[in-house]
Structure formats: C-alpha cells, structure tokens
Amino acid sequence: MAQEAILEPDLPIIDPHHHLWDLRPLIAAFPQPRHPFVETLSHSAYYTFDQLLADARGGHNVIATVYMECGAFYRAGADAAMKPVGEVEFVNGIAAQGASGLYGDFRPCAAIIGHADLTLGEGVRPVLEALSLAGNGRFRGIRQQGAWDANPDVLGPPFHAPPELYRSHAFRQGFRHLGELGLTFDAWLLEPQLSDAVDLARAFPDQPICLDHCGTPLGTASYHGKLHERFDVWRENIFTLARCPNVTIKLGGLAMSFCGLPEQGPMAGLPSETLAAMWRPYIETCIDAFGPERAMFESNYPVDKWGASYNVLWNAFKRLAHGASETEKRALFAGTAARFYGIEDMLASSPLTSAAA
C-alpha cells in the first residue's frame, strides 16, 4: 500500500459521502464466485466509527463528514417502509459522540442522508417525518439508488433497482414530498442512465439534487475496455445535467470496482500521482461543467478502498485541484458540501468552520 506525505495538511475538508456498516452476515450469503463489488465489500466488511475516526484523523484536516445511507442497522420488527429509520437512529448516535467534543473538533456525521422508498407515493410522508425525528436535527435528505443495467453482471447481486426508476410515476409521487419538507436528494445511477437524472432534475427544478460518483462511468463486465469509447457520451450528459441549476455533483467514486479506475484492488497501492492522472479527465470535466460552487470531493469510503487508502485518495484530489484558487479549493473540499447539506450553521461555532464555509 502506498504511503505518502500529506499534501496541504491544513486545507479544511468536509467528507460528504461515507458509510458505516457491518456487512459480514450479508456477504456470507453471496454465492461463489463473487462479483468484484462483493469482493470489495468483503475486504471492508465492517466500517466502524473507530475506523472512520482513524481515517479522518490520519493526517488530512477532515473537520466533518456527511453520512450516506447504505442499508445499515435497519429496525428489526418494523414494517418494511419504516425499517430505514433504524439506520438514522444508529448514525445519530455516532454524530452525538462526535458532538461531545471528546474527539476534538472533528464532527462525524454532521449531516445524515437516510433512505425512504419514494415509490410509496403519498405513503412516504410519514416515513420522511420519522426519519427527520430520528435525526434530531441532523437528517438532511434521502438517497434512493436507481443504478440498473440490463446485464446483471455489471452491478452484481447487491443491487435490485428497477429500470427507469427515476422516471416512474410512483417514484415521482413520493419525490415531490422532499421539496415540501425541505429535504435534499442524492441520486446514484450509472453512466448509461444519466438521461434519467436530467429528466428528473428538469421535472423538479426547485429540488436540490446531488449526483453521486461523477455519474459512475463503467469499466466492468460488458463495459470493460469501453471507458474511452463512451467518454464523449458521458461528457455530453454531464454538461446537459449541469445546465440544471438545482443539481450539484460529487467528485469521487471512481475507485469503485464498477469504474475500473483502477481495475486492480482492493487498495491497489497506486500512488496519488497515478490515480490523479487516471481520474483527471472525469474530475476536470465535472468541475468545468458544474463549477466549484456546485462540486464537492467525496471519499465514498470504505467502498473506494478498492483502489486507494483514505490518505492517498485525498492526496489525489488535492493534486487534481492544484491549479485552483484558494477560494475554489475551499468550495471543492468543504464549502459546497456545507452549503448543500445545510451544515454551515451547525459548524459555525467550530474554529475550523470559517475556512470551510
């Protein structure tokens, strides 16, 4: 594993996308041979607060994080719609630990993104209200992943979203409640599906939407070897989506096995210079399209552990932002995340937030 000196160690970072989980029972249920993504998870079968703390305090100036739903610690015994409330309850406890100040100025899970099934339509309203109550002021919105491909080998067994989920009437009946409640939406789908995100953003122009993982370019299964071939299609869709002012983008997720950037893993051991060169066409395109005020670097940890350690990952991002102004860097590494997820006021009392705001 590559060991590197920390670049720009004082630059404030809000990591806007990470998970906490214990996937050991789930992974044990997957048949052999496993999909590469399942292999990724098997090497990070559990990611605890202690591991997050070690990564975030490993040299980079990570001042806060945003938790992203991942199906962790759902309520046992609840009906299906309400099970995800357990995840927010769990994460709010982690956030409370950090807010105690016991771990210094670091504020883990300062904002929480949970999950609700928007295809419930009108029935999703009480779920969203329960999630908000469980978050105790930290719940900011939901993610309902819509990643799908006709070839099941692309995603592997963990994912079961129907095709064109974001276009469906039932989904949109529930989606409108997000705006009414002042909640954000994180969208995760794959590069060939980006037109679905465009259609959703245009249909709800006042709804804040964040596209995860640079739109997930694909370099696996039937897409293996086609990253270069499909780049122009991806780029055109990114620029089209960027013309929707309600959309923000996360710069990361490229170290997932789906992308093949790198192909080898887990924690391939490549230096940050190599990763930055590999990711540059995607990251620079996203920043050119959205601008620093609507773009944020993300760790997507521990999933991106497939291709890089936490420290090397952020070093790669800092190399990619080398030519940016100080104002642009503060937006890309902290300010955009703080604004989108509404944690500027929450962190205002910290001596570090003046740099992150």
Q: Is residue 4 part of a domain?
A: no
Q: pLDDT tens-digit profile of 175-224?
A: 999 999 999 999 999 999 999 999 999 999 999 999 999 999 999 999 99
CB atoms within 10 A of CB 335: 22
Indicate the range of 28-32, 143-147, 246-250 predicted with least confidence.
28-32
192 inside domain:
yes
Q: Look at residue 216 and tell me if it is in a domain.
A: yes
Residue 6 lies in a domain: no
Span 45-58, pLDDT tens digits: 889 999 999 999 99
What's the per-residue H, E or C state across 196-221?
Answer: HHHHHHHHCCCCCEEECHHHCCCCCH
Q: How far, in Å, CA of 93 to CA of 90, rounded? A: 5
Range of the domain at 303: 12-356
CATH code of the domain containing 267? 3.20.20.140
Q: Does the predicted model carry a pTM greater than 0.85? A: yes
pLDDT in the model for residue 330 = 94
Query: Strands 209-211 and 184-187: what pairing?
Result: parallel
Mean pLDDT of 126-150: 97
Residue 324 within any structural domain of the chain = yes
List the single range of 158-172, 193-207, 333-347 with lowest mean pLDDT.
Answer: 333-347
139 token code pair: 């719940």
Kindly state whether residue 199 falls inside one of the protein's structural domains: yes
Decide if 265 is inside a domain. Answer: yes
- Choose among 312, 326, 297, 352: nearest CA to 59: 312
Asked if residue 353 has pLDDT above 60, the reply is: no
Task: Please confirm whether the linkage preceding 302 is cis (ω < 30° from 0).
Answer: yes
Domains: count for the chain: 1
In a domain, 3, yes or no: no
